Amino acid sequence: MATATAISRSVIGPPSARKSVVSIPAVSFGSTVSFERSRAANYGQALRLADPSPMISALCSDRRVGDSRIRALVEKPTVLVSEKLGEAGVALLRDFANVDCSYNLSQEELCSKISLCDALIVRSGTKVTREVFEAARGRLKVVGRAGVGIDNVDLQAATENGCLVVNAPTANTVAAAEHGIALLAAMARNIAQADASMKTGNWQRNKYVGVSLVGKTLVIMGLGKVGSEVARRAKGLGMHVIGHDPYAPADRARAIGVELVSFGEAISSADFISLHMPLTPFTSKIFNDETFGKMKKGVRIINVARGGVIDEDALLRALEKGTVAQAALDVFTEEPPSKDNKLVQHENVIVTPHLGASTMEAQEGVAIEIAEAVVGALKGELSATAVNAPMVPSEVLSELAPYVVLSEKLGRLAVQLVRGGSGIKSVKVVYTTARSPDDLDTRILRAMVTKGIVEPISSVFINLVNADYAAKQRGLRISEERTSHNGSPEIPLDSIQVHLSNVESKFASAISNSGAIVVEGRVKDGVPHLTLLGSFSVDASLEGNLILCRQVDQPGMIGTVGSILGGSNVNVSFMSVGRIAPRKHAIMAIGVDEEPPKDVLAKIGKIPAVEEFVFLEL
């Protein structure tokens, strides 16, 4: 007696495709007989409507927000803007989303609002902590940082929660560089102190004698975007500019005429040091008692990067000793610093309240850059400024789109065939392709296989951001292999196979000669098809619900099963039979619009020629 097991889960396939059932005559394909109420054309359209890009699948098919991708697209998403954002950016957001501009939220208020938001836009003043991601309960899909530094966003927590983080890395570069130069000149000529003195009625020409810049050695620490712009400007002021950056390409440094030197050489030869590196565990407090001790006496320091790269207590000591003559600080370990902060009060220190990016032009630019990135991500496009997701160029993504759908379906199908045993530990994905490895980026395919496997058996949802992390968390080893194919490299892939090793199957025919569950699929006319199950060739379009039967191949089987289903008002969308040889075993794949009642499935199991069967939701 054959048995059937149904795994129930919300169907996330395109509903409009499932509704568009069209009757067309049976078509024969060699050894595979296919009674296909083909929905290929409609499916393509439905796919575009319901799933306009693979990232929608990656970012929006979150079971926790409901089972309809269409609803997610039709309803406007909500974007919370928690810090002042340029009007042009807000207007861009409003065209696409409901925008809630709520500034100065406490951490508690942010956590309570966030579960109603699909995106959050911040500057450096909002701490997007693990607590915030957890409070979002899976709804938050993207955090946009309207600026460069993402040290106020817990990237690990974002990744674990499948939330994309994007930033706006270029629009404030010039503003930050200009602020650095402004601080450099203002510090050297005591502008701030002299101004404050005059405003209290003094005229102290002798007290505020400055130092000249021309001919002095300026060290740029971090020759990235801002550092390079500062270097160019400082050269224009006649300074001798050198740099330290372990990761900067030497040709970039050469192009702007900056010699790259070691950290030790940099700090010991500088008259001025301008900081432009990010705050990382490695750069945290990199300027400390020891490093200040190695500097030339009377060095002057400008920081428009991040406060945390300086040990502020050590800087105060260095200022007291005179090792550091002056400092100009735009950024602080704690922002805002306390009112009695000794650095802020120090007469040889000039300060600004993190104004590096604050020009009208930069803020408009940053606002537009981040609004476009966030809207793009919510629409399902991959952002060029994603911080915590692998970058897949959009042209690669669009040609792989049908294979992305196929990968997820194959994963989903394979996992539903598992009976239990010792759990799924090892997954192999085999790509048959005419392309060389350099020409086929499979990261998104691997992520979607992982999504297909993990989502039906867990409470996590998977997207491109967290797929590898989620697999690792579950102890799932996903390996990839390529098999060469003699076809045209114009077509990215011939087929994709998913192998699950060391598992028992509830449908024995899915086990191949190697002992693994093997499912293989191809894209036909843009539609994902199952083409191999274990050792059986089949041809079933992978959408909606599927009944797979292994039977003794004999006339009348299609009619018998069809009339059981029809008699119970279960609409069949296609039937396809794959055989080993005539009158031996065959696999019949039956697409049904809805899950048949249990007694109907039982009737199929009781057909004498049916050896086993399984009901699957894709």
Ligand X SMILES: O=C(O)[C@H](O)COP(=O)(O)O
Ligand Y SMILES: NC(=O)c1ccc[n+]([C@@H]2O[C@H](COP(=O)([O-])OP(=O)(O)OC[C@H]3O[C@@H](n4cnc5c(N)ncnc54)[C@H](O)[C@@H]3O)[C@@H](O)[C@H]2O)c1
List the catalytic residues.
306, 335, 354
**Of the two residues 356 and 596, which places its CB atom closer to ligand X in the complex?**
356
Which position among 18, 39, 69, 123 is part of the footprint of ligand X (CB under 6 A)? Answer: 123
**Half-sphere exposure in the Cβ direction for 188 (13 Å, CA):** 18
246 binds, among ligand X, ligand Y, none (CB under 5 to 8 A by kind): ligand Y
Residue number, 52 or 125, with CB nearest to ligand Y: 125
Beta-strand ranges (E) seen in 276-403 are 299-303, 324-329, 349-351
Only one of the segments 142-150, 284-292, 413-421, 451-459 lies at the binding site for ligand X (rule: CB under 6 A); that segment is: 142-150
**Under the criterion CB under 6 A, does residue 121 sit at the interface with ligand X?**
no
Using DSSP, how many helices (H) and how many strands (E) does the chain show? 22, 24
Q: Which of ligand Y, ligand X, none binds 123 (CB below 5-8 Å, type-dependent)? A: ligand X
d(CA 367, CA 373): 10
Element (H, E) at 585: strand 585-592
What would the DSSP string read from start to end of 137-187? TT---EEEESSS--TTB-HHHHHHTT-EEEE--STTHHHHHHHHHHHHHHH
**The entry of ligand Y, ligand X, none that residue 282 binds, CB within 5 to 8 Å by partner kind:** ligand Y
Contact 544, 595 (CB under 8 A): no
Our CB check for ligand X shows the closer of 172 and 541 to be 172
Residue nearest to ligand X (CB): 147
Q: Is 614 in the site for ligand X (CB under 6 A)?
A: no
Residue 492 engages ligand X in binding (rule: CB under 6 A): no
Minimum separation from the CB atom of position 469 to ligand Y (A): 24
Q: Using the rule CB under 6 A, which residue among 148, 219, 538, 572 binds ligand X?
A: 148
Q: Hey, how many other C-beta atoms are within 10 angstroms of the C-beta on 422?
A: 8
Q: Name the DSSP letter for residue 505.
A: B
Taking the C-alpha atoms of residue 598 and residue 595, their distance in angstroms, rounded to an integer, is: 9
Token pair 């693994």: residue: 516
User: 179-218: which residues touch ligand X (CB under 6 A)?
Assistant: none
User: Among ligand Y, ligand X, none, what binds residue 460 when CB lies within 5 to 8 Å by partner kind?
Assistant: none
Q: Which is nearer to ligand X, 138 or 308 (CB)?
A: 308
Instruction: Sort 567 into a burial class: Cβ within 10 Å, 0-12 / 13-18 / 19+.
Output: exposed
Beta-bridged to residue 32, according to DSSP, are 29, 578
Q: Does 307 bind ligand X (CB under 6 A)?
A: no
What's the first-to-final CA gap in the chain, in angstroms? 25
Q: Is the peptide bond before 336 cis (omega within 30 degrees of 0)?
A: yes
Structure tokens at 490: 């114009």
Residues in touch with ligand Y (CB under 6 A):
148-149, 169, 172-173, 176, 221-227, 244-248, 276-279, 282-283, 304-306, 330-331, 354, 356-357
- Comparison of 15 and 149: residue with beta carbon closer to ligand Y: 149
86 is a site residue for ligand X (CB under 6 A): no
The neighbour count for residue 24, using CB atoms within 10 Å, is: 11
- Torsion over CA of 403, 407, 412 and 417, rounded to 10 degrees? 110
* 241, burial (CB in 10 Å: exposed 0-12, middle 13-18, buried 19+): buried
Could you tell me which stretch among 42-50, 52-60, 122-130, 207-215 binds ligand X (CB under 6 A)?
122-130
* 593-606 exposure pattern, b = at least 16 Cβ within 10 A, e = fewer: eebbeeebbebbee
In the list 89, 144, 149, 596, the residue contacting ligand X (rule: CB under 6 A) is 149
Token output for 476: 């799932």
Instruction: Please give the size of the binding site for ligand X, defined by CB under 6 A.
Output: 12
Quick check: 89 binds ligand X (CB under 6 A)? no
Closest distance to ligand X from the beta carbon of 174 (Å) = 12
Q: Is 174 a binder of ligand X (CB under 6 A)?
A: no
Which CB sits closer to ligand Y, 176 or 510?
Answer: 176
Question: What are the DSSP E strand ranges found in 245-374?
Answer: 259-260, 272-275, 299-303, 324-329, 349-351
Using the minimum distance from each CB to ligand Y, give the nearer residue, 350 or 493: 350
State in angstroms the smallest separation of the CB of 11 from ligand Y.
44
Nearer to ligand X, 365 or 528 (CB): 365
Q: How many CA atoms lie within 13 A of 453 on its CB side?
A: 31
Long-range contacts of 65-69 (CB under 8 A, 24+ apart): 65/138, 65/139, 67/10, 67/11, 67/12, 68/12, 68/15, 69/12, 69/14
3-state secondary structure of 458: coil
Whether the CB-CB separation of 193 and 377 falls below 8 Å is answered with no
The entry of ligand Y, ligand X, none that residue 244 binds, CB within 5 to 8 Å by partner kind: ligand Y
Q: Which is nearer to ligand X, 168 or 604 (CB)?
A: 168
**Shortest approach of ligand X to residue 277 CB, angstroms?**
12
Residue 412, contacted partner among ligand X, ligand Y, none, CB below 5-8 A by kind: none
Instruction: Convert residues 500-529 into a mask of x (bound to ligand X by CB under 6 A) and - (unbound).
Output: ------------------------------
| Binding site partner of 248, from ligand X, ligand Y, none, Cβ cut-off 5-8 A by kind | ligand Y
Query: Which of ligand Y, ligand X, none does residue 330 bind (CB under 5 to 8 Å by kind)?
Result: ligand Y
- Minimum CB distance to ligand Y, residue 301 (Å): 14
Among 146, 163, 277, 616, binds ligand X (CB under 6 A): 146
Q: Which does 62 bind (CB under 5 to 8 A by kind): ligand X, ligand Y, none?
A: none
- Tell me how long the chain is: 618
User: Rounded to whole angstroms, how far apart are CA atoms 490 and 440?
Assistant: 11
Residue 146 site contact among ligand Y, ligand X, none (CB < 5 to 8 Å, cut-off depends on kind): ligand X
Q: How far apart are CA 367 and CA 93, in angstroms?
A: 10
**Smallest distance from ligand X to CB 354, Å:** 6
If the CB atoms of residues 150 and 401 are measured against ligand Y, the closer one turns out to be: 150
Binding piece for ligand X, criterion CB under 6 A, among 356-364, 493-501, 530-538, 578-586: 356-364
Q: Least separation, in Å, of the C-beta of 146 and ligand X?
A: 6
The residues of the shown chain that bind ligand X, judged by CB under 6 A, are: 123-125, 146-149, 172, 354, 356-358
